[in-house]
Amino acid sequence: MNKRIFIIIILFSIHANINSQIKHVLDTKQIIIKFKQKFKANSIYYVNNKKFNDKHLNQLNKENNVKSIKLTGNIKDKRTYAIELKSNKSYKEIIKMYNNTGQFEYVEENFKGEGHGDEFYPDDAYFNQQWAHHNDASFANSTIDADIDSPEAWALTQGDPNLIVAILDSGVKLDHPEFSGRIWLNENEIQNGTDTDSNNYIDDINGGWDFVNNDNDPTDDHGHGTNVAGIAMASGNNNIGYAGVNWNSKMMVCKILDDQNFGYYSWWAEAIYYAVDNGASVINMSVGGNSSSTILSEAIDYAYNNNISVIVSTGNQNSSIQYPAKYSNSFAIGSTDPDDTRSDPFFWDSSSGSNYGPELDFVAPGNFIYGLNHLSNTNYNYYWGGTSQAAPHVTGLISLLISEVPSLTVENIREILINSSEDLIGDESDTSGFDIFYGNGRINAYEALLEALTLNISEIEEYKFEIYPNPTSGIINLDNNGEILNIKIYDINGKIVFENKNYSLQQLNISKLNKGIYFIKINDLYTQKIIKK
């Protein structure tokens, strides 16, 4: 058995670790800065010459040996930049120097994260063992029906050809026959060396963008992205390879991981803005890192506020959930095995396991998942394991839901998945209702589609709510266009900790609740996760 395992180094979270992990680039560092609105004019000149329109900032850049300045994040706003520099100072010192100018909303390290999957190349197994779709217990150590009921779902829909699913990963093998006719084409762009559609990306016609190398070729040079994309989007019923969850929709490819499976948060954030602004309906991110970041959380919020679901893997360290899955406006996805238990461990390392915690939303099949090869169009003897492989099952399902009911909001989708996912399917840690190991349950594509197709959308629109601030330290405001009949707040164990039947209620005071994650349910119809800080 020829075995290839990529051992991924855990994302650094302290400065000593950072220095030890980037010795190969000496003391090169990257920071993210975002100008305050009133100082925006200082940001927009001389970037190609590694200068800003401010003498003090340029002196700082000189002192820190700045090598490059690149517009990133929400590039339309022209206030956020990634700065690469060479300095023996610590990140803490550098960040303080830039913050002391008073010109920035924030200054932070440009953290690195990684892809959440690992692969195995067997010499004897055949490809037709997609237990995640239909589990008849013939797969080793499997349980019958420990699957997402894809065949039943495909009888209802195989995806809308006009829908766009964004895969933010190491790229995709664009010429793979499983993706024939499925790669998104930017019809507003003309390949002539200029940005004809004025989206700030030159000649981004075929597929999307490479945020690692800053070019228009998001081809996979690692393998992680092709595998992830195939799980969500490989064409089905075509007599070759495998069936993805969605057989028909278009795939936007945003390369945010390099050939070593690592990527800077600035790449990730900019790709989210790109996907949202260029028409994606759902985003898959099978990536994560240990550090929270303002640029990344703002990007997740941008997608959420534009009604785009961002599906994120939780990580494989058998520990707490990584970022950006940890952010409340994303969907945090863990992994299950062929016997429906939480993946603990994955096949490639006895110390690995699906990350867990109060931020977990759902689980999906993620271990021993056969997939596509980024080096071959004909090699199907390839399987991976990780929460990276779980997330695209959910992304594919959500794309099917939107295909059938385009008016669904992010919170509609969350509610549908809560109501349709299978509970009490794992070991004794899978307790009734929400729990930190299985979230709200293992997804079921067929049940979710039935829930969506029978959902009274007009009824939900009648009771449309905005709940803010979230997170909150005490007061929650309720903006709504419908009558509030009742409000219930549940803790992560499903216990009701607050209930109110005040028809004119516009605010809630939850200051007496302990810090943590809760679920607020209004009129027994609308559910949203809230965080008490």
CB-based contacts of 89, cutoff 8 Å, min separation 6 = 64, 97
CB-based contacts of 513, cutoff 8 Å, min separation 6 = 489, 497, 498, 532
Strands 118-120 and 80-86: unpaired
Q: What is the DSSP letter of 374?
A: T
Q: Residues 133, 250: contact at Cβ < 8 Å?
A: no
* DSSP per-residue string spanning 117-136: -EEE--SS--S---TTT---
Q: Compute the distance between CA of residue 131 and CA of residue 370 in angstroms, rounded to an integer.
A: 9
Strands 80-86 and 28-35: antiparallel
Q: Let me know if 224 is a catalytic residue.
A: yes
Strand order in the sheet with 496-500: 496-500, 487-490, 516-522, 526-532
Active-site option among 147, 160, 169, 220: 169
Q: Compute the distance between CA of residue 425 and CA of residue 438 in angstroms, rounded to an integer.
A: 9
Q: Residues 515, 532: contact at Cβ < 8 Å?
A: yes
Active-site option among 343, 388, 399, 420: 388
Active-site option among 176, 224, 374, 393: 224
Can the peptide bond before residue 122 be classed as cis, meaning omega within 30 degrees of 0? no
3-state SS class at 496 = strand
CB-based contacts of 282, cutoff 8 Å, min separation 6 = 165, 166, 308, 309, 310, 311, 395, 398, 399, 402
Structure tokens at 212: 């690692």
Q: Residues 280, 161: contact at Cβ < 8 Å?
A: no
3-state SS class at 198 = coil
Q: Let me know if 388 is a catalytic residue.
A: yes
Q: Residues 444, 418: contact at Cβ < 8 Å?
A: no
Q: Let me know if 133 is a catalytic residue.
A: no
Give the residue ranges of DSSP H helices in 279-335.
294-305
Active site residues: 169, 224, 388
